[in-house]
A and B are shown apart, each in its own frame.
Chain A
Amino acid sequence: MIAREIEARGIPTICMSSAFSITAAVNPPRAVFLDFPLGHTAGKADDKGLQRKIMIDTLSALDSIQVPGTIRPLPYRWAEDDVWKDSVMRPDPAGKHNDSRIERNEEPQYQSDADRQEAAATLAAGGCATCFFPG
């Protein structure tokens, strides 16, 4: 959706994706699909070689896709088998409540208390110039 807006403003885009069904549904101008678990859209941690290959393939797709809405699959596999796919986002088979999400509110969620204190210092020193709050 954001890619469509940017593309409509004259800037070519490519979306990296690890969620094929979602990307196919929103139908962005161009996409690459990497069949990895969520949270690894651009590769595996500390594997610079793989991250670089994925980015080169992504740029190549940006350069060569001619048909709007193309999703080009990338040839990399997360593991030898696909066992990781079985447990992703499955309701509890017993039908019990397994929603572990914390209750959502509008409090900033800092990774650490030190971050919270640094952000408070930023605000005290005149505000966060690199934080944007549209709408």
Chain B
Amino acid sequence: MADPVDYIQRTLDQYAALGYPPYRWVTNEDTPPFTPLAKPLAKSTVALIASGGIYRRGQIAFHFKDDLSFRAIAANTHASELRVSHFAYDMTDARKDPNVVFPLETLKDLAGLSRIAKAADNAYTFMGGIYSARRVRDILAPALADRLVKDEVDVAIMVPA
């Protein structure tokens, strides 16, 4: 099998070809924080957080310039009510079946099979592709974490597009 696509190198190559200064990708060499599971997954409420520009019809869509906002998507939202708008990936399949970047139905199916207790009442979506890592760390990340704590979820699944 061929190696995984090195998106960092390809972004650097592309920026160079366009005459931009190299993008400074975040590199974290420290040991990440680690919280053991407090209870079995079969008894856990599972939150879904996805970048990828997903919104529900009736909501304000994301914009393409460092959008730090996010949307709450109720767990009972039907896939046909979801929309996808993003600049950085091919959305053809995501618009056909949002579960490829926002696996809410998949998660609810697994709740039905008792693999988890339930999907959290709210999933959260944002845009991603935010140039400033500092603003993600200082503004978006704490705001999302606040919501998950308030929602009393047990674990979270993060899905970049």
| A interface residue numbers (CB < 8 A to B) | 1-22, 25-29, 33, 35, 37-46, 48, 51-52, 54-56, 58-59, 62-63, 68-69, 77, 82, 85, 88-92, 95, 97-99, 101-102, 104-112, 114-116, 118-119, 121-123, 128, 130-135
Contact = CB atoms under 8 A, between A and B. Distances in A.
B58 A6 contact: no
A133 to B, nearest CB: 5
Interface of B: 1-2, 4-11, 13-14, 16-18, 25-38, 41, 46-47, 49, 52-53, 56-65, 67-74, 83-85, 87-97, 99-103, 106-107, 109-110, 115-116, 133, 135-145, 147-149, 153-161
B156 A109 contact: no
A3 B100 CA distance: 20
Contact of B99 (A1, A43, A92): A43
Contact of B70 (A26, A69, A102, A132): A132
Contacts of B143: 132, 134-135
25 contacts: A6-B49, A7-B33, A8-B33, A11-B154, A25-B28, A26-B27, A29-B32, A35-B1, A39-B94, A45-B96, A51-B100, A51-B103, A56-B110, A63-B37, A69-B31, A85-B2, A91-B13, A98-B17, A109-B53, A111-B83, A111-B84, A115-B57, A130-B72, A133-B68, A135-B138
Interface centre among B6, B29, B133, B136 (most CB of A within 10 A): B6
Contact of A5 (B38, B110, B137): B137
Contacts of B6: 20-21
B12 to A, nearest CB: 10
B59 A106 contact: no
Nearest to B134: A1
A97 B69 CA distance: 31
